[in-house]
Amino acid sequence: IDATQTSVSRAGRSVEWPKTGNRLATGSEIFGQNVFTLKTLQSALPKPVYARFVQQIKGRQSLDRPTADAVAHAVRVWAQERGASHFTHWFQPQTGTTAEKHDSFLTLKTVFSGGIEETYAIDAFSGSQLLQSEPDASSFPNGGMRSTFEARGYTIWDTTSPMFIRQGPHGTSVLYVPSVFIGYNGEALDEKTILLRSSEVLSNSAVRLLQVLGDRETKRVYATLGTEQEFFLIDRGIYNLRPDLKITGRTLIGTVPPKHQQLEDHYFGQMPSRVLAAIAEAELELYKLGVPIKTRHNEVAPAQFEMAPIFEEASVAVDHNLLTMETLHQVAHRHNLKVLFHEKPFAGVNGSGKHCNWSMSTDQGDNLLDPTLKPETNYRFLLFLVATLDGLYKHGGLLRAAIASASNEHRLGANEAPPGIVSAFLGEHLTEVLDAIEENRDVRNFSQPHLQTVKVGGTVLDLKVSTLPQIARDLTDRNRTSPFAFTGNKFEFRAVGSKQSPSLPVVLLNAAVSASLNAVTEALIAEKGSKPEPSIEDILTVVRRFTAASKLIRFEGNGYSQEWVDEAAKRGLPNIKSAPVAFKQLLEEHNAQLLQSLGIMSAEEVHSRYHILMEKYAKDLLIEANTLKNMVSQGVLPAAFTYRKDLADFLATQKALGLDFENSPEIGVYTKLTAVAKELQASSDKLNSLISQLEKLEGDEAAELAGTELTVAMEDTRSKVDTLESYISDKAWPYPKYTELLF
């Protein structure tokens, strides 16, 4: 009650917005203030040194010592002018979050003068310190990999992502050096190394296809990524009274109140002012860090919100998504709010996702998945489109593995989020274009007026005269039930979990598409024969072949329906409901082979990742089970006993007074309470024995038990608790309920 009262009477935190002159600064004026941009570096370095630097990072060579020293000096001066006292190699171990260890710029220097030794302090940051450091790597997940190698790990500056400062009170401002984290022999121990590798591979494959098409300009192709981040924000005081939220990030007990999201009154509604203040402060900090946050709005569930940036090159976008999550976490704290990134913090209302909008862009600025650029690039568009579909079809299992976790399991396969079947949605128009090409016929006329109005140049695709109309952006339905939906000029990978790093999903997507781009290129080369460039007929032949081959992955209907589950089974598409089964996809011969042959992950790296994921899965569930066990034995059952005693005392008094206690209304509650409490005790005993069993297991066995029997026992226990909640008086209930948490 105290917490609830405090939560409604909290004074808002006011944040001082920076000024330009005597007016408030605009977004663009604040943007990137704390980022050490190439421009800043250029102005700090002698021209030839800067030129050498650019040459070396462009060629993906390692920096020579003098250049690194010059850059390190420049960035230290810049950082210290902004109050930074420390630097850190900021990296992304396989924990879903980031890691950092701070080193101060303070250095001791010893000089000998006149035979006397003197030590004094200076501030310094050398090129070698900038380039690499050696954190104690033994405490990060490695999936057993490093036992076979040296146990050392290295963090190495990733020059593709700019350095930045995170500011805090004096002594806490730190220069961040975005880094990769690798083992002694270069094994990837992190999420970033594989992302950079996959970006390189994708670029090479795409450039090669473009070259076959006659493109002489494009030297690089980038995977682009825009992450729509969903999350819940709740009062921190109330949050603190829920051990389940604190320990596991989700409620393990509790039910939705009579009103939650069924009136659809939260989506795009006005944000509560405390929430708006917190999000605005987070945006301010993110602007300074060069994170281009663009949108914010209320989401479907009560207390659920979303923020999305402008898309960027994938590796930078991943860094920026992680920064967004960390910043929100810190800023929410200052506003006495708690941000929940868990995919399903509350049963019965919508969960959270991280829609990963993905496309490919050339260094000439062309989006390769944009059909509306120019009619003459439509053939190129079609080739990249069918390559993406082909990749998804052949390696859908990898994408399923990429999004699997104990927490996302509550979304996937549940009736409110993309299902455990990987499929792609294209929209009516594009489907018709591909069907027409496949069937070698004209494109059907669309009768829908909304499609006609956005079309330019007629709707007939006459393949015989080899012209393709401008493909209209499909303004029809946004299919929210597809895990992988084409949305006009990009794919939206909707099944990614809100809590996870977007890195692995992008890596595996890049990998699958790269292999298919290679296959498309080979097919085009074969088709064109000795001609310098493929003809339009050649291209259409290849598009037709790949369209037909990948057709099974395309689904336009309701992905949540039972019909789709049945249909997918008929098509032979796997429906993977649980994370341990999904992780096994990584080990499937054709998937592991793909990653190896492209040089994105070695067999060893694939295995180590698999073990880490399985182990984390079992641990996450074990932590949840233990938390639930404690809440039942220390909170719920004692409350039930106390309440039961109150009722019993009352009934005993009635009896002692010779009153008709057998007809008093308390009897019904007492009887029911007794029965449910007993059932709860039995469920919880079962849970306890499974916990003991699980604690003795390891690896796959642990994950399998956790994903099956343990999960069932937890659900069973929860349902008993939730029944008790409806019998026990509000006052006697030991934890804040959904009503207090969500409203």
Interacting residue ranges for ligand ADP, rule: CB under 6 A: 224-226, 228, 308-311, 357-359, 367, 487, 489-490
Q: How many CA atoms lie within 13 A of 54 on its CB side?
A: 12
Q: State which residue, 236 or 320, has the beta carbon closest to ligand ADP.
A: 320
How near is the Cβ of 357 to ligand ADP at its closest, in Å? 3
Quote the CA–CA distance of 596 and 340 in Å, as a whole number: 36
State the DSSP code for 636.
Answer: I
356, 495 Cβ separation under 8 angstroms: no
Residue 354 or 718 with smaller CB distance to ligand ADP = 354
Shortest Cβ distance from residue 94 to ligand ADP (Å)?
25
Task: Report the residue number, 475 or 648, with the smaller CB distance to ligand ADP.
Answer: 475
Burial class (CB in 10 A: 0-12, 13-18, 19+), 121: exposed
* Of residues 131 and 279, the one with the C-beta less far from ligand ADP: 279
Q: Least distance (Å) from ligand ADP to the CB of residue 319?
A: 15
Three-state DSSP at 235 gives strand
Neighbours of 605 (CB within 10 A): 22
Within a 10 A sphere around the Cβ of 32, how many other Cβ atoms? 19
Of the pair 99, 386, the CB lying nearest ligand ADP is at 386
**439-470 burial: b if 16+ Cβ within 10 Å, else e:** eeeebeebeeeebeeeeeeebebebeeeebbb
488-519 in b/e form (b: 16+ CB < 10 A) is: bbbbbbbbbbbbbbbbbbbbbbbbbbbbbbbb
Q: How many of the other CB atoms lie within 10 Å of CB of 215?
A: 16
Decide whether 327 or 591 has the Cβ nearer to ligand ADP. Answer: 327
Question: How many Cα neighbours within 13 Å face the side chain of 358?
Answer: 29
Q: How far is the CB of 309 from ligand ADP (least distance, A)?
A: 5
Write down the least CB distance from residue 600 to ligand ADP, Å: 20
- Alpha-helical regions (H) of 157-297: 192-212, 236-239, 243-248, 273-288
Taking the complex as a whole, how short is the minimal distance between the CB of residue 324 and ligand ADP, in angstroms?
11
8 Å CB contact between 253 and 244: yes
Name the residue type at position 349: V
Do residues 76 and 124 lie in contact, with contact meaning Cβ atoms separated by under 8 Å? yes
Q: Between residues 269 and 699, which has the closer beta carbon with respect to ligand ADP?
A: 269
Question: Which is nearer to ligand ADP, 369 or 703 (by Cβ)?
Answer: 369
Question: Please, which residue, 223 or 422, has the CB nearer to ligand ADP?
Answer: 223
- Nearest-angstrom CA–CA distance, 692 and 724: 26
What distance in Å separates the CA atoms of residue 16 and residue 248, rounded to the nearest whole number?
Answer: 34
Q: Give min distance, CB of 477 to ligand ADP, in A.
A: 12
Q: Of 359 and 585, which has the nearer Cβ to ligand ADP?
A: 359
Question: What's the min distance (Å) between Cβ of 664 and ligand ADP?
Answer: 60
Within a 10 A sphere around the Cβ of 188, how many other Cβ atoms? 25
By C-beta, is 310 or 659 nearer to ligand ADP?
310
> Least distance (Å) from ligand ADP to the CB of residue 308?
4
- The residue among 77 and 310 lying less far from ligand ADP, judged by its C-beta, is 310
Q: Between residues 494 and 718, which has the closer beta carbon with respect to ligand ADP? A: 494
CA distances 67 to 127, 427, 539, 551, 564, Å, are: 8, 51, 47, 52, 58
The rounded distance, in Å, linking the Cα atoms of 357 and 385 is: 15
Cβ 311 to ligand ADP, closest distance in Å? 3
* Min dist. Cβ of residue 433 to ligand ADP (A): 19
| Contact call for residues 622 and 588 (beta carbons, < 8 A) | no
DSSP character string of 537-599: HHHHHHHHHHHHHTGGGB--S-TTSHHHHHHHHHHT--B--SHHHHHHGGGSHHHHHHHHHTT
Smallest distance, ligand ADP to C-beta of residue 298, A: 15
For tokens 């029809």, name the residue: 476
* Closer Cβ to ligand ADP, 133 or 304, answer by number: 304
Between 490 and 554, CB nearer to ligand ADP: 490
Q: For strand 23-24 and strand 293-298, is the pairing parallel, antiparallel, or unpaired? A: unpaired
At its nearest, how many Å lie between ligand ADP and the CB of residue 350? 17
Cα torsion angle, 154, 158, 163, 164, sign: negative
Nearest to 427 by CA among 378, 359, 480, 381: 480
SS3 call for 621? helix
**Tokens 């270069």 belong to residue:** 186
CB of 368 to ligand ADP, least distance (A): 9
Minimum CB separation of residue 487 from ligand ADP in Å reads: 4
C-beta nearest to ligand ADP: residue: 226
C-alpha to C-alpha distance for 501 and 408, rounded to whole angstroms: 12
CB 302 within 8 Å of CB 742: yes
